[in-house]
Structure 1
Amino acid sequence: MARVTTSRRFATSPEDMWKRIGGFGSLHEWHPAVTSTAVTASGQGRELVTTDGGRIVETLLDNGPSHYSYRIDQSALPFATLVSTLRVLSDLGGCVVEWDAEFEPLGVSATDAANSARQFLQTGLDALQ
């Protein structure tokens, strides 16, 4: 399994940042590559639609007070498996948003898969500025 971690510091409280990004159904509200998010009735699954028309089906694995973890179940992305965690950590006078992904590449090199994951995660964090 390969792993990618991205993080960024913000001058906002962890509580305010989590209100902004912490909803499992709100990714489209702040990530520029996601145009819509539909959450299942149980709240444990979501389907994302990306700007290029791609669809990603995910399952919520863990939902804590300032983090959530999910698994990608279906997508055209270059991953056989992918589990990711989005978390907000307290930091002197602000917060750090950390987003990581652990994955098994599919049809591409580990480097190419890591670059794909890193680009998606970092694009989301950059959009929070």
Structure 2
Amino acid sequence: MASTSVSRVVPATPEKVWSLIGGFDALPDWLPYIPESVAAEGGRVRQLKNPEGQVIIERLVDFDETERQYSYAILQAPFPVDGYVSTIRVHAVPGRDDVAEVQWSGRFNPVNATEQEAVDLFTAIYADGLDALDKTLAG
């Protein structure tokens, strides 16, 4: 099983960051790669579309409001992996009340791709996503 993790300090309190990204159906609010999200099964499943119209279906597998984190599994996607589970966490930065650290991590089994190709793909997705979050919060 392969894995990757990217973290970024962003210009907002942990509470503000979580209020933006903590909803499982909130990706279009901060991630330009996902302009559309439709909730199903009482909000436990989200059907996403990327700008090319490709469909990504994900299931919420863990949610912790107190710890400001959630995990989800990909059920369907145009990615060369299976067994994908990812977690987004928002942490306080010790000694700072004006910023937060956001960590996006995932583990997966490459399919029709090398482990390095799959790691590079998700590392880039997470880094680009956190860059977009930073831009949204700074804007």
Shift of 1:42: 1.5
Normalising by the residue count of structure 1, what TM-score does the alignment of the two structures yield?
A: 0.96
| Mapped partners of 1:124, 1:71: distance in 2 | 17
| Mapped partners of 2:112, 2:87: distance in 1 | 24
**Comparing both structures, which one devotes a greater share of its residues to helix?**
2
| Mapped partners of 2:78, 2:10: distance in 1 | 32
Match of 2:86 among 84, 103, 107: 84
Normalising by the residue count of structure 2, what TM-score does the alignment of the two structures yield?
A: 0.89
Pairs aligned (count): 129
Letter in 2 for 1:37: S
CA deviations on 1:82-102 (whole Å, 9 max, x unpaired) are: 100001000032210000010
Letter in 1 for 2:89: R
* Two-structure CA RMSD over aligned residues (Å): 0.9
Instruction: Give the match's secondary structure for 1:42.
Output: helix
The answer on whether the counterparts of 1:48 and 1:56 sit within 8 Å (CA) in structure 2 is yes
Ranges of 4+ aligned residues in structure 1 off by more than 4 Å = none
Instruction: Give the match's secondary structure for 1:51.
Output: coil
Match of 1:103 among 108, 115, 139: 108
> Counterparts in 2 of 1:1-129, with a 5 A limit?
1-65=1-65, 66-91=68-93, 92-93=95-96, 94-129=99-134
Letter in 1 for 2:127: Q
Instruction: Give the match's secondary structure for 2:42.
Output: coil
Amino-acid identity (%): 33
Unaligned runs of at least 5 residues, structure 2: 135-139
